[in-house]
Structure 1
Amino acid sequence: MKIIITIFFLTFNTILFSQELKKIQAVQEKDSDFFGYDDYDTSGKPIGELLFLKGCSWYCGGSVKSIKASSELKENKGINYSPKNAHDFDKNTAWVEGKSDYGIGEFIEYTFDFSEIKEYNGSLGINRILLANGYKKNKLTWQNNSRVKQLKVYLNDKPYAILNLLDTFEIQTINIGEIKFPTNKVTKLKFEITQVYKGIKFKDTAISLLMFEGVGVH
Structure 2
Amino acid sequence: MKIKLTIFILALSSTLFSQELKIIHAVQEKDANFFDYEDYEAPDKPIGKLIFLKGCNWYCGGSVKSISASSQLKENNGINYAPKNTHDFDKNTAWVEGKPDYGIGEFIEYRFDFSEMKDYNGGLGINRIILANGYKKSKTTWKNNSRIKRLKVYLNDKPFAMLHLLDSFEIQTIDIGEIKFPVNTETKLKFEIIQVYEGTKYKDTAISLLMFDGIGVH
- TM-score bracket, normalised by the shorter chain, equals over 0.9
2:142 aligned partner: 142
How many angstroms apart in 2 are the aligned matches of 1:62 and 1:145?
31
Structural mapping, 1:1-218, within 5 Å: 11-42=11-42, 44-218=44-218
User: What displacement does 1:5 show?
Assistant: 8.1
TM-score by length of 2: 0.95
Q: What secondary structure, in the 3-state scheme, does the structure 1 residue paired with 2:51 have?
A: strand
Compute the RMSD of aligned alpha carbons: 1.7
**How big is the shift at 1:19?**
1.1
Please state how far the C-alpha of 1:41 moved relative to its aligned partner.
1.7
Post-superposition Cα deviations, 1:25-65, rounded to whole Å, max 9, x if no partner, equal: 00000000000111012473221111100011000000000
Q: Quote the Cα distance in structure 2 between the aligned partners of 1:4 and 1:68.
A: 49
Q: Which runs of 5+ in 1 are unaligned?
A: none
Structure 2 residue identity aligned to 1:143: K
Q: Percent identity?
A: 77
Alignment: residue pair count: 218
- Bigger mean CA deviation after superposition, 9-18 or 175-184: 9-18
Other structure's SS at 1:174 match: strand
Distance 2:42 2:65 in 1: 40
1:58-90 residue CA offsets vs partner (Å, 9 max, x unmatched): 000000000000000000000000000000000
> Which residues of structure 2 form unaligned runs of 5+?
none
Cα distance in 1 for partners of 2:145, 2:21 equals 29
Q: Distance in 1 between matches of 2:5 and 2:155?
A: 33
Paired residue type of 1:215: I
Q: 1:172 & 1:197 partners in 2: Cα distance?
A: 15
Q: 1:41 is paired with a residue of what secondary structure?
A: strand
CA distance in 1, matches of 2:69, 2:7: 42
- TM-score if structure 1 supplies the norm length? 0.95
- Work out the CA distance in 2 between the residues paired with 1:109 and 1:116: 20
**Change beyond 3 A, Cα 1:60–1:171:** same
Q: In 2, distance between residues paired with 1:64 and 1:88? A: 11
